[in-house]
Structure 1
Amino acid sequence: MQGATLRYPPGSLVVLTGLPGAGKTTLLRRLYGLDGAENVPVMAGATVVIDSGQSRLRWDGRITWAPRAVRRAVVFATHVRRISRALALGRSVVAHNRGCGPYVLAGFAWLARRRRASFHLLLLDAPPQDAIAGQHARGRVVAPRTFDRHRRRCERLLAQVRNGDPAPASTARVITRAEAGLLEHIVFGAPEHAPAD
């Protein structure tokens, strides 16, 4: 997979999902030159890159009075609204998703259909112990019970995709952390052909 390029139709929604700590944000930062200080979506050519951390930073310190569950809901609603807005403008979108919850993924599929966009999953498959180490490295650790729920959901989704069922997405691709390290581009559009002689 050295120098790999993943290609999707223009105007698609590509959701990068996997266990918390698997390396999703790390991959987006490397591919798109993000530094983690962004609190709004980033334009990379014609592609909009939307990491949930952007929404978290947008609200950081602003609704500290609210219970944690409310703050998380506000951050998630902001994240989804940003994805919806970008799709409504006909943009190609690469978006981060924390975990593999079936209802959240079904919601993304609905959102893409509503905006007449195709929906594609890119699953970053990391062993649970590596994902937990990744959480400690970033300084944000998911509670063990919550992580176990994410693990079960991701295992089910990975098994489903490996058995040939990408639902609720049009397509789904699984990449390991090692393969993610070799990925160089996510491109929207038809492949360029060499001119004929």
Structure 2
Amino acid sequence: MGSVVDAVVVPSGVVDLRGEAGAGFVTAYPADAVVVVSGLPGAGKSTLLRRWSGAAVRAVDPRTAHEACEAVMPAALPYAVYRPWARLEHFRLLRASVRGGGPLLVHDCGSRAWMRRWLAREAGRRGRELHLVLLDVGAATALDGQRARGRHASTRVFARHRRGLERLLAAFTRHVRSGGPMPTPEASSVLLLDAVSRSRATTVRFGSAGRAEPGGHRRKPADQGP
């Protein structure tokens, strides 16, 4: 017997799915897109990246560089001492990955406009598009997520990211309600998800996505079984 295929979301401009419950959906991007998944520490970025990444899709997470540096450092040495090295290694890996071919997923806090602009420039030089997925789950949910994973951002770091993301989300909310300039002109699309719609984003697809309906949504017909 056949079954109904999940809806396909083809982000174009700003697609706001916050507050929308329902069935799971596939998110579709161009074959060589660079997709940045952003949100507060504990918002679920790593969970979404694990769900979306696979053998054919590479994901770059700053935690990878952190753990690689940690593995060769004395256990008694605080991370703050070698943080600059870890950050440099992360940027090297990120630059090499953007310059390479194929789709790319990037884990980033999203509060730093200079990082988005740098990624957009690096991607654009190679004819690649930058797309943004922004997780708007609220500070309380993000703090719960930190406790659940057993890793905590410092109060200062969390507050800094929270201020930057709140300004960015406010700009997107104004854009969705009344139009005006795109808050992130460097991004080809922005997908806004909250705790509800985040869980519905079951799969990502890179390549031919078909034609999207207004709002970036498209539903495929049911598969027909034999």
Q: Between 184-193 and 7-16, report the one with greater CA deviation.
A: 184-193
Once residues 142 and 96 of structure 2 are traced to their aligned partners in structure 1, the CA distance between those partners, rounded to angstroms, is: 31
**2:42 equivalent to 1:51:** no
Q: Do 1:83 and 1:93's aligned partners in 2 also have CA atoms closer than 8 Å?
A: no
Aligned letter for 1:175?
A: L
Once residues 68 and 112 of structure 1 are traced to their aligned partners in structure 2, the CA distance between those partners, rounded to angstroms, is: 31
- Normalising by the residue count of structure 1, what TM-score does the alignment of the two structures yield? 0.81
**2:72 equivalent to 1:62:** yes
Q: Which entry has the higher C-alpha Rg, 1 or 2?
A: 2
Once residues 10 and 71 of structure 1 are traced to their aligned partners in structure 2, the CA distance between those partners, rounded to angstroms, is: 36
Once residues 104 and 200 of structure 2 are traced to their aligned partners in structure 1, the CA distance between those partners, rounded to angstroms, is: 21
Q: Do 1:11 and 1:87's aligned partners in 2 also have CA atoms closer than 8 Å?
A: no
Q: Do 1:2 and 1:183's aligned partners in 2 also have CA atoms closer than 8 Å?
A: no
> How far 1:188 moved relative to its partner?
1.1
Aligned letter for 2:155?
A: P
Q: Between 84-93 and 13-22, report the one with greater CA deviation.
A: 84-93
**2:108 equivalent to 1:90:** no
Once residues 87 and 171 of structure 2 are traced to their aligned partners in structure 1, the CA distance between those partners, rounded to angstroms, is: 25
Once residues 12 and 70 of structure 1 are traced to their aligned partners in structure 2, the CA distance between those partners, rounded to angstroms, is: 35
> How far 1:79 moved relative to its partner?
2.4
**2:120 equivalent to 1:109:** yes
Q: Between 15-24 and 77-86, report the one with greater CA deviation.
A: 77-86
Gaps of 5+ in 1: 33-43
Q: Do 1:47 and 1:94's aligned partners in 2 also have CA atoms closer than 8 Å?
A: yes
Gaps of 5+ in 2: 1-21, 177-181, 211-219, 222-226
Structure 1's 129 and 57: CA in aligned 2 closer, same or farther, altered over 3 A? same
Residue 176 of structure 1 is matched in structure 2 by 194
Q: Do 2:43 and 2:135's aligned partners in 1 also have CA atoms closer than 8 Å?
A: yes
Once residues 96 and 187 of structure 1 are traced to their aligned partners in structure 2, the CA distance between those partners, rounded to angstroms, is: 17
The one of 23, 48, 64 equivalent to 1:2 is: 23
Paired residue secondary structure (2:192): strand
Once residues 156 and 148 of structure 2 are traced to their aligned partners in structure 1, the CA distance between those partners, rounded to angstroms, is: 19
Once residues 185 and 172 of structure 2 are traced to their aligned partners in structure 1, the CA distance between those partners, rounded to angstroms, is: 8
> How far 1:128 moved relative to its partner?
0.2
Question: Per-residue displacement from partner, 1:13-39 (whole Å, max 9, x unpaired)?
Answer: 10000101111111222334xxxxxxx
Once residues 112 and 160 of structure 1 are traced to their aligned partners in structure 2, the CA distance between those partners, rounded to angstroms, is: 24
Structure 1's 99 and 73: CA in aligned 2 closer, same or farther, altered over 3 A? farther
Q: Tell me which of the two structures has the higher relative contact order, counting C-alpha pairs closer than 8 angstroms and 6 or more residues apart.
A: 2
Correspondence 1:17-32 to 2 at 5 A? 17-32=38-53
**2:114 equivalent to 1:141:** no
Paired residue secondary structure (2:202): strand
What root-mean-square deviation, in Å, do the aligned CA atoms of Structure 1 and Structure 2 show? Answer: 2.3
- Normalising by the residue count of structure 2, what TM-score does the alignment of the two structures yield? 0.72
Q: Do 2:99 and 2:122's aligned partners in 1 also have CA atoms closer than 8 Å?
A: no
Residue 38 of structure 1 is matched in structure 2 by none
Aligned letter for 2:123?
A: A
**2:201 equivalent to 1:191:** no
Residue 119 of structure 1 is matched in structure 2 by 130
Aligned letter for 1:181?
A: S
